[in-house]
Amino acid sequence: MQLSSFAISIAIANIALVSADASNYWKAFTSQIDPKNITVPSIPATTSLNPTTECTYYNPDESLIVINATEWPSIWDVATSNNMDTSPEFLALYDSLDWANAPNISVRKLTSDGGLDFTGYDSSADPDCWWSASVCVHPKLADVSADIINCPEPETWGLTYDDGPNCSHNAFYDYLQEKKLTASMFYIGSNVLDWPYGAMRGVLDGHHIASHTWSHHYTTTLTNKEVLAEFYYTQKAIKLATGLTPRYWRPPYGDIDDRVRWIATQLGLTAVIWNLDTDDWAAGVTTTIEAVKQTYDDYVEMGTNGTFATSGNIVLTHEINNNTMDLAIDYLPKILSAYKQVIDVATCYNISYPYFEDIEWTNVLNASTAAAAASSVASSSVAASGSSSASAAAGTVTAAGAQINQSATSGASQLLPSALFTLVLAAVALL
């Protein structure tokens, strides 16, 4: 009797978070890929170590992946483009959400140079828990998933790479494989559709795949419909290429507020932020490689100087270009020496189900690497449905982490306006 009322209260709690129709949206996605049995086709783009060859477009084998352009937003454009905001599947999802419950928070504006406009916003009170305004990671709105910001285990480096799959990542992924390292890979939907074999390899290599939106805009500047489309079509693309639908995502530039969190929560998505930012994307763009190396050196030192004696970090790094991937290869040996563990977010949080599909994390893959890493993590298991409580746990872990975050992130959003970011991504695509 007690058990049934407990089950009912859990069910009610779930309904409060996600309306019944919306929670099954992922079941309509199609994929010909079995994530537990992936073979990446052997073509020059997947086997070469020459960036030009790697980044030569290919048509995916239709027995694996069929891309019909009429079913997708335009690459790198907001995900409502190409009439995707009026597609029956998107409208069905949109109409299934209880928008009357959505928070009444303004859509943010951009300044003329492409940065976020904070005019008129009370950043010190930060009523909307807008990360870009105050590095807020503890939502002020009820019934939204709180952000994950660090790995709870002491002296642990949470390994994450954003903006992939980068077409020229073969040597970098080879290196991670050689070191038996798995990372959380935050993939951009446009990149997944352009380079689906790169995403397949991410799963094959045992990495934890998560979403990084369709077109890498500041999400707080997008309308509710645009934010929903950015999430929806990225989920659909990752499913198409890998057979998996992520439960985790990372906002570009960390730009999230309670309105965006509410929409993400309707789709069962929890945000993963960070508490250390290498600014590696800026190396050779807006700062020197030496400056980024100094940041890396500082973070390596934190592994042995007591900074993470009681809890670990999650570090923001990128597979955005060959500079960032070379820096990663340079520094991973030092990071491995300085920290007790270097692991992906699913492993460090002991998340049993990082995807919607009924496949346990340690069984998704190439499980030898992930299982070995998971066995060295002592924290209690966190089931997928417990992502909110997992996030809450992270919140209690790090007063210190939050301080580090304040000083270390120094507003990547201000440093990298979206227009510049698009240019960087375009340059990478041309490599």
Q: Which residues bind Zn ion (CB under 5 A)?
A: 162-163, 252
Judged by CB, which is closer to Zn ion: 163, or 255? Answer: 163
Q: Residues 6 or more apart from 224 whose CB is under 8 A from it?
A: 99, 102, 259, 263
Alpha-carbon Rg for the chain, nearest whole angstrom, is: 20
User: How far lies 166's CA from each of 104, 239, 328, 428, in Å?
Assistant: 37, 18, 14, 8
User: Is 212 known to be catalytic?
Assistant: no
Judged by CB, which is closer to Zn ion: 213, or 387? Answer: 213
CB of 318 to Zn ion, least distance (A): 7
Strand residue runs (E) in 375-424:
none
Give me the catalytic one of 126, 162, 194, 279: 162
User: Is 162 known to be catalytic?
Assistant: yes
CB of 332 to Zn ion, least distance (A): 20
Judged by CB, which is closer to Zn ion: 199, or 397? Answer: 199
Give me the catalytic one of 169, 216, 217, 318: 318
User: How far lies 91's CA from each of 83, 85, 215, 232, 238, in Å?
Assistant: 11, 7, 20, 11, 20
Residue corresponding to tokens 């390596």: 300
Q: How far apart are CA 111 and CA 128, in angstroms?
A: 20
Judged by CB, which is closer to Zn ion: 72, or 249? Answer: 249
Q: Which of 50, 120, 128 has the alpha carbon at shortest distance from 137? A: 128
- Asked whether 373 and 343 are in contact (CB, 8 A), the reply is yes
CB of 417 to Zn ion, least distance (A): 13
Judged by CB, which is closer to Zn ion: 163, or 205? Answer: 163
CB of 247 to Zn ion, least distance (A): 19
CB of 94 to Zn ion, least distance (A): 25
Residue whose CB is nearest to Zn ion in the complex, by number? 162
Q: Which of 149, 27, 21, 80 has the alpha carbon at shortest distance from 409? A: 149
Question: Which residues does the annotation mark as catalytic?
Answer: 162, 318
